[in-house]
Amino acid sequence: MQVSIDLPDKYFSFYDKPALVKELQLSLALILFKQSKVSISKAANIASIDLYEFMKECKKNEIPVINISVEEQNEEWNNLKKEFL
Q: For 27-59, what is each residue's pLDDT tens digit?
A: 999 999 999 999 999 999 999 999 999 999 999
Higher pLDDT, 14 or 52: 52
- Which residue type sits at 73? Q
Which pLDDT band holds residue 10 (cuts at 50, 70, 90)?
A: confident
In a domain, 67, yes or no: yes
Tally of domains within the chain = 1
In a domain, 55, yes or no: yes
pTM of the predicted model as reported, rounded to 2 decimal places: 0.75
Question: What integer pLDDT is reported at residue 2 of this predicted model?
Answer: 86
Helix pair angle (51-60, 17-34), 10° resolution: 80
Distance of CA 67 to the CA centre of its chain: 13
pLDDT at 65 over 90: yes
Q: Which residue segment(s) compose the domain that 37 sits in?
A: 14-84
